[in-house]
Amino acid sequence: MTLDITGLKMSIGGKDILRGVDLRLSEGRVHGLAGESGSGKTMTGLAVLGLLPHGARVSGAIRLGERDLLTLPPKELNRVRGGEVAMVFQDPATSLHPMLTIGKQLTEHMRHHLGLGKAEAKARAVELLGKVRIPGPAEAYGRFPHQFSGGMRQRIAIAIALACSPKVLIADEPTTALDVTVQAGVLRLLRGLCDELGLAVLLVTHDLGVMSAVADEVSVMKDGLVVETGPRASVLREPGHAYTRSLLDSLPDTELT
């Protein structure tokens, strides 16, 4: 299933945040979304899930298969959220509930969306923890988030997002808070899952190195508009837009070999 964003506009209090964003995510592909902070990357991701802040006025269309997510009634949208479209947030320390075991957090939405029983949900949760390579998944099931390191927490957050076999995964700066060595592991995991499960991934990041490592297509945003989009190799090696070029030039490590 593909996710099609066409002419997405959003304003808060009369201030334009997004000014006509067009993006297309397809199965088994990672679509990277780059740009400085304040360019509207995160808002685009949140708009897909209908998680926009209060008072936001949205127009345009976000099509998931046949449905337009923007006009969907709340009840239907709840079925999509967490079920068909899932999200991984930037900071695993705050996106996980500190007082609930990760087992509880992994099974809660599975039982709701997939209608699984307790035992079935647990079996699937343990399997998922193994898939994201948490050592000792059966024991990890009953632990709390603070008992894991940052990299493991982010992997757990990914496992929670994947629990209901979503078609679309939105990853908002999933590796920004992590060290390079841990980042490498999370990126490999994302890429592997995308190839294996045929997920459509929207990877929001400001790190062009990360973008280059996993994204198939790259879009660059500036001031609420997508200024350039195309296959990874062409956008990063022969940027057509002056802004993309300036982004690449401003990298500390400009040596492109």
Partner 1 sequence: MSLLTIDDLVVEHRSPGRPVVRAVAGASLAVNPGEVVGLVGESGCGKSTLARAVCGLNPITAGSVAFDGQPVTPLGLRRRRLTGIQMVFQDPYASLNPRRRVGEQIADGLRTSGDTATTPADLLERVGLPRDFARRHPHEFSGGQRQRIAIARALAARPRLLIGDEPISALDASAQAQVARLMRDLAVESGAGLLFISHDLSVVRLIADRIAVMYLGKIVEVGGTAEVWAEPRHPYTKALLGAIPKPDGLGVLPAELPGDVPDPANPPGGCRFSPRCPMVMDVCREKEPDFGPVACWLHEPT
Q: What is the DSSP letter of 147?
A: G
- Is the Cβ–Cβ distance between 83 and 168 less than 8 Å? no
Least separation in angstroms between residue 21's CB and partner 1 is 20
Least separation in angstroms between residue 159's CB and partner 1 is 17
Binding of residue 134 to partner 1 (CB under 8 A): no
Identity of the residue, 70 or 225, whose beta carbon is nearer to partner 1 in the bound complex: 225
Identity of the residue, 35 or 166, whose beta carbon is nearer to partner 1 in the bound complex: 35
The rounded distance, in Å, linking the Cα atoms of 48 and 79 is: 13
Binding of residue 51 to partner 1 (CB under 8 A): no
Amino acid in the structure at residue 25: L
Least separation in angstroms between residue 157's CB and partner 1 is 16
Binding of residue 15 to partner 1 (CB under 8 A): no
Binding of residue 227 to partner 1 (CB under 8 A): no
Binding of residue 207 to partner 1 (CB under 8 A): yes
Binding of residue 93 to partner 1 (CB under 8 A): no
Binding of residue 235 to partner 1 (CB under 8 A): yes
Least separation in angstroms between residue 215's CB and partner 1 is 8
The rounded distance, in Å, linking the Cα atoms of 104 and 136 is: 17
Q: Of the listed pieces 16-24, 65-73, 109-117, 248-256, which binds partner 1 according to CB under 8 A?
A: 248-256
* CA dist 156 → 130, 145, 165, 182, 215 (Å): 10, 9, 15, 13, 22
Query: Would you state the structure tokens that stand for residue 29, as one six-digit string?
Result: 């592909």
Number of residues that bind partner 1 (CB under 8 A): 41
Element (H, E) at 231: strand 225-231
Residue from the set 25, 62, 69, 152 that interacts with partner 1 by CB under 8 A: 152
Q: Can you give 60-99 as a three-state secondary structure string?
A: EEEEECCEECCCCCHHHHHHHECCCEEEECCCHHHHCCCC
168-172 sheet: strands from edge to edge: 85-88, 168-172, 200-204, 30-34, 217-222, 225-231
Residue from the set 21, 203, 214, 226 that interacts with partner 1 by CB under 8 A: 214
Tokens 């500190």 — which residue? Answer: 98
Binding of residue 252 to partner 1 (CB under 8 A): yes
Residues engaged in binding partner 1 (CB under 8 A): 36-37, 149-152, 179-185, 187-188, 191, 206-216, 232-237, 247-248, 250-253, 256-257
